[in-house]
């Protein structure tokens, strides 16, 4: 029967010394086993690992890295209210795992601004930051790069490493799809001052021009949320419906769909991002997909290159979008009609 050391108090985290006492070996031998280095016999290694398991001991790899001068942490700032940001974070974890780095997340919330989110990561001694669609000014981002490497995602910024989607091309795809279905009166609900909004407006205008529809160009104030989309849809109902709408993002498009469904108005709606909400079966939103996996791999690779002082290529990396056709777009009618009017 084994004699175990005195149990570790529940309010204290087990240490190397506790494992050494439990296994009946030296602390230095436990350290060798935990680092998976040679020097311990198979039986001793097994005894140490069993002791660690009984005590619930887990090596603090982060503390060891910090002592070495490297945290191998990539800080990520994201908006907690944005579904698309959550999709990017999911793929960033996958990309980071392949490099041996870990992520430290810091969220922007209604009562926690971006500056506070960044400050928290600086205190964690991250080796580089990945900022998803940041609201900070170009000057603020430039100052931040003097402290550590910064990679910006989903926004074009001069003088900083950027990984973004080709936003203007996305609206080209949207307008091409809608005109191919026979639509001419196509409105764009824009994203205001949100990252990418200006490029999407530009893409919409140029696509309408290319299809010979400059007089049908119509930009309606919108935003990033379902509430913004709903407000824009009410404007369309009051001022006259087009036959199709290209919304700034999927959340905005979902707000449009909600108001139009309640009003029994039928028109084609296309979103942007292909976030998890767009893929829900009861929404089934036609959308422009951003390649979050490719963008995340590029962002992590660039952050690691900068953190390790490796040679890096051009500052801005642009990933092409693609069209995903689902159930919210279809052939144009002579004019938008309500389901109720069609039944009469």
| H or E stretch covering 268 | strand 268-273
Please state which of the ranges 22-26, 111-115, 272-276 shows the lowest mean pLDDT: 22-26
In terms of DSSP H, where are the helices of 211-289? 226-239, 250-262
For residue 13, the Cα-to-chain-centroid distance in whole angstroms is 34
Classified as helix, coil or strand, 75 is strand
Residue 61 has what pLDDT?
53
Two tokens, residue 254:
């979902």
**What is the phi/psi pair of residue 208, to 5°?**
-65, -40
Residue 314 has what pLDDT?
79
Chain position carrying tokens 């991002």 = 273
Q: Is the pLDDT confidence value at 160 over 60? A: yes
Residue 13 has what pLDDT?
75
Give burial (CB, 10 Å; 0-12/13-18/19+) of 238: exposed
Segment 13-21 long-range contacts (CB within 8 Å, at least 24 positions apart): 14/52, 14/55, 14/56, 14/57, 15/57, 16/57, 18/55, 18/57, 19/48, 19/51, 19/52, 19/55, 19/57
What digits encode the pLDDT tens for the residues 301-327?
A: 999 999 998 887 778 999 999 999 999
- Longest C-alpha distance within the chain, in Å? 89
Residue 11 has what pLDDT?
57
- What is the pLDDT averaged over residues 158-185? 97
Rg of the chain over Cα atoms, rounded to whole angstroms, equals 27
Chain position carrying tokens 């407006």 = 201
**Number of helical (H) and strand (E) elements in the chain, helices listed first:** 13, 12
Please state which of the ranges 33-42, 228-237, 289-298 shows the lowest mean pLDDT: 33-42
Query: If you average pLDDT over every residue of the chain, what do you get?
Result: 89
Q: Is the pLDDT confidence value at 2 over 50? A: no
pTM: 0.78
Residue 335 has what pLDDT?
46
What digits encode the pLDDT tens for the residues 118-145?
A: 999 998 889 999 999 999 999 999 999 9
User: What distance in Å separates the CA atoms of residue 54 and residue 42, rounded to the nearest whole number?
Assistant: 18
Question: Is 38 or 101 the better-scoring residue by pLDDT?
Answer: 101
At 57, the pLDDT band (50, 70, 90 cuts) reads confident
Q: Is the pLDDT confidence value at 284 over 80? A: yes
Domains of the chain: 16-59 (1.10.260.40), 71-165+292-318 (3.40.50.2300), 167-290+324-343 (3.40.50.2300)
Please state which of the ranges 2-16, 48-62, 172-186 shows the lowest mean pLDDT: 2-16
For residue 78, the cross-strand partners are 107
**What is the phi/psi pair of residue 129, to 5°?**
-120, 140
- What is the pLDDT averaged over residues 92-103? 93
Residue 302 has what pLDDT?
96
């Amino acid at each position: 029967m084994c004699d175990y050391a005195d149990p570790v108090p529940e309010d204290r985290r087990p240490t190397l010394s506790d494992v050494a006492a439990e296994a009946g070996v030296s602390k230095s031998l436990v350290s060798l086993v935990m680092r998976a280095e040679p020097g311990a016999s198979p039986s001793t290694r097994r005894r140490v690992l069993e002791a660690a398991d009984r005590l619930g001991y887990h090596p603090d790899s982060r503390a060891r890295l910090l002592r070495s001068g490297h945290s191998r942490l990539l800080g990520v700032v994201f908006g907690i209210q944005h579904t698309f940001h959550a999709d990017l974070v999911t793929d960033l974890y996958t990309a980071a795992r392949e490099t041996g780095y870990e992520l430290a997340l810091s969220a922007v919330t209604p009562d926690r601004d971006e500056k506070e989110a960044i400050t928290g990561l600086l205190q964690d001694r991250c080796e580089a930051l990945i900022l998803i669609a940041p609201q900070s000014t170009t000057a603020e981002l430039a100052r931040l790069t003097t402290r550590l490497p910064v990679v910006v995602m989903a926004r074009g910024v001069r003088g900083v490493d950027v990984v973004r989607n080709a936003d203007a091309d996305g609206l080209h795809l949207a307008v091409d799809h809608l005109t191919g279905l026979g639509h001419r009166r196509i409105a764009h609900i824009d994203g205001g001052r949100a990252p990418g909004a200006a490029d999407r407006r530009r893409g919409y205008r140029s696509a309408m021009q290319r299809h010979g529809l400059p007089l049908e160009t119509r930009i309606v104030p919108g935003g990033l949320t379902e509430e913004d989309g709903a407000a824009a849809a009410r404007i369309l109902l009051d001022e006259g419906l087009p036959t199709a709408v290209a919304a700034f993002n999927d959340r905005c498009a979902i707000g449009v769909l909600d108001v139009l469904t309640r009003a029994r108005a039928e028109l084609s709606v296309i979103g942007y991002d292909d976030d998890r909400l767009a893929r829900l079966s009861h929404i089934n939103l036609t959308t422009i997909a951003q390649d979050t996996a490719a963008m995340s791999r590029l962002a992590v690779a660039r952050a690691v290159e900068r953190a390790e002082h490796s040679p890096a290529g051009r500052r801005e990396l642009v990933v092409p979008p693609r069209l995903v056709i689902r159930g919210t777009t279809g052939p144009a009618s002579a004019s938008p009609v309500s389901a109720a009017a069609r039944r009469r």
